[in-house]
Amino acid sequence: MEHSTKAAQLFLQGYNCAQAVAVAFCDVTGLDADYTARLVSGFGGGMGRLREVCGAVSGMFMVLGHLYGYDTPGDDAKKMELYTRVQGLAKQFEEINGSIICREILKNPPSDPNPSPRTAEYYAKRPCAKMVMTAAKLMDEFIAENPID
């Protein structure tokens, strides 16, 4: 199954947007799905429903960091390489969707901490399934063009 389809299915099962993207890539990252879902759980709704950076984008960046990130403090070359990749993926996502900011994508929804009930109406009016599909597709394309060491 394609990661974009898997991410959309996970979102429609109730995972938040960051979880949907990150968990969809557990077959690539080698991370446990439950652990990954917990790790990224605070990034849904644009970071805890603050409506900041789209959770799908955050999930994509977490996969990117796991696969291509650095772990040595002071390794400015690796840091710059990762940040360049982050900015490139962000730009691609923004070109496709108009923004990487949740509140802009969702047209200024409430930013309270109360999760919205996941109903058919909720899914029908939200572009989030498309956002997770886009983020996963971009990540797949990036991986295809940049073999993992």
Give SS3 for 101. Answer: strand
Instruction: Give the pLDDT of residue 122.
Output: 87
Asked if the model's pLDDT at residue 149 lies above 80, the reply is: no
Cα gap 101→92, rounded to integer Å: 13
Instruction: Give the pLDDT of residue 22.
Output: 98
79-91 burial: b if 16+ Cβ within 10 Å, else e: eeebeebbeebbe
Average pLDDT over residues 51-71: 97
Task: Provide φ and ψ at 13, rounded to 5°.
Answer: -85, -10
Sign of CA dihedral 26, 44, 88, 9: positive
Q: Does residue 64 contact residue 56 with C-beta atoms inside 8 Å?
A: no
Looking up tokens 């960051």 gives: 18
Task: Provide φ and ψ at 121, rounded to 5°.
Answer: -65, -40
Looking up tokens 């200024």 gives: 108
**Which pLDDT tens digit goes with each residue over 91-127?**
999 999 999 999 999 998 878 888 888 888 888 888 9
Confidence of residue 146 (pLDDT cuts 50, 70, 90): very high
